[in-house]
Structure 1
């Protein structure tokens, strides 16, 4: 007689564990997908900010004016051509650094100090700060005509033109970007900036270099006499400010035009 067979049944619970693992796996995939989308979005924002910052940094480094030279002009009388004891007009030759971005002179602020007084000057066609542009300035005038308006005694408030504004005349402008209405300088351009330095004692001189002032010039508030310490700062809309510091000669002698810088 054969012995009864004994059947053993082994308990296997792995299938129950597999469902839980699948749920966890799906949850991890969803979390990873959400995290990936957040990272992609964040990286895109950071890239845009980096590009913007890089562009601004490049402008700050490359977009700036270069002062080539500064000459001082002494006023002369119309009667006997006697000359003023002080500098009456500054003639500043400016250009741009190599590979510089264009510079709009209409947005350039020039600060000039004679060691005692300081004038903050805008381009003659700028009406954003003082509410109006230079008195009698015209975009149809030549640069020489607007320079006469800068110096002339034809303002409602005496001296405002000389105290608050400067004018610019182009020297080299191959692409035709520069005009009195739109004074934009590109790389390679050269221009002359005129700043009135007429002092109260020099308002009797009617000729300044090649400019014949039909009415006597008005006081600019500056006095650039011999041994004066002069500081000029040109601040463009974008880019580094350009500074020129110099001390005027101990005597101007008999020269009408005086080299001041460099």
Structure 2
């Protein structure tokens, strides 16, 4: 009788018992902890990436554009000051720009010798108080008069520390004296006092009656003066505007300075 080949092999070697179970459970726990750490780390990285991307987009997209700058001379009965007494800076936003809060804008302006760092008149954070007599409900010309004539014990003469703004175009109604928010399409005029210490007796500046009580702005913008200003918003790129005044102002009350 033929025998059937033994095609099956037997392996009696095996690991059994509590030791194997402990190793298995440990491997499962390690895998679970590793997965939890990876998930948490990826979530944190995603949040940081989103925040960084948002900030980077805001830095790139928020951009003020200086359209033009005019200088206005003080006058009394047709007699004009020898220096520019007021700068009118027409400003808009670049295409696709985020909203810009002018209450956080800093304007650094120099006449080549003296430099003023200016804040919006309603800003009360940096110097501890807003511009003296500034009113959020008043019209721009009232606040402009206080910019030219006002002074206070701290920080000092209004024209040396503040600027004011008038809206020209504001289709969405976002801009007011108390809430100067610029959005795309808005156009405003920023007023910077440039009253020289030698031009304090004139009665009118830009149609505003100053009654010879205007205060020295610490700037002297006469003929052939090199003026540079840097507009730094809360977020976004800085805007630089530089110009040289004409060799003669002639009989003009308002002089085009930039571009």
1:103/1:185 contact within 8 Å kept: yes
**Higher deviation after alignment, 158-167 or 196-205:** 158-167
Q: Among residues 89, 92, 98, which one is paired with 1:92 in the alignment?
A: 89
Cα distance between partner residues in 2 of 1:215 and 1:205: 5
CA distance in 2, matches of 1:257, 1:11: 108
User: Within 5 A, what are the aligned runs for 1:212-227?
Assistant: 212-227=209-224
Which structure: larger Rg? 1
1:134 & 1:47 partners in 2: Cα distance? 43
Residues of 1 paired with 2:129 and 2:29: CA distance? 62
Instruction: Give the C-alpha shift of residue 71 in structure 1.
Output: 0.5
Distance 1:159-1:205 versus aligned 2 partners, 3 A rule: farther
Q: Offset of 1:28 from its aligned partner?
A: 2.6
Instruction: Point out the more displaced range, 243-252 or 17-26.
Output: 17-26
List runs of 5+ in structure 2 lacking aligned partners.
Answer: 1-8
Alignment of 1:186-197 (within 5 A): 186-197=183-194
- TM-score with structure 2 length normalisation? 0.90
Which residue in the other structure is 2:244 paired with? Answer: 247
| Structure 1: gaps of 5 or more residues | 1-9
- What TM-score results when the alignment is normalised by the length of structure 1? 0.89
User: Which residue of 2 is the match for residue 45 of structure 1?
Assistant: 44
TM alignment of 1:3-82, pairs within 5 A: 12-16=11-15, 23-77=22-76, 80-82=77-79
Tell me the CA shift for residue 227 of structure 1: 1.3
Query: C-alpha displacement at 1:209, in angstroms?
Result: 2.2
Question: 2: CA distance between counterparts of 1:16 and 1:57?
Answer: 59
Residue 182 and residue 97 in structure 1: after superposition, are their counterparts in 2 closer, same or farther (change >3 A)? same
In the aligned structure 1, how far is the partner of 2:21 from the partner of 2:144? 84
- Distance of 1:206 and 1:195 partners within structure 2: 18
1:96-152 alpha-carbon deviations (Å, 9 max, x no partner)? 111211111111111100010000011001111111111111112100111011112
**1:7 alignment partner in structure 2:** none
**Aligned-residue offset at 1:255:** 1.2
The equivalent of 1:230 in structure 2 is 227
Alignment match, 1:113: 110
Specify the alignment match of 2:6 in structure 1. Answer: none
Find the aligned partners of 1:233 and 1:14 in 2 and give their Cα distance: 83
Count of residues paired in the alignment: 250
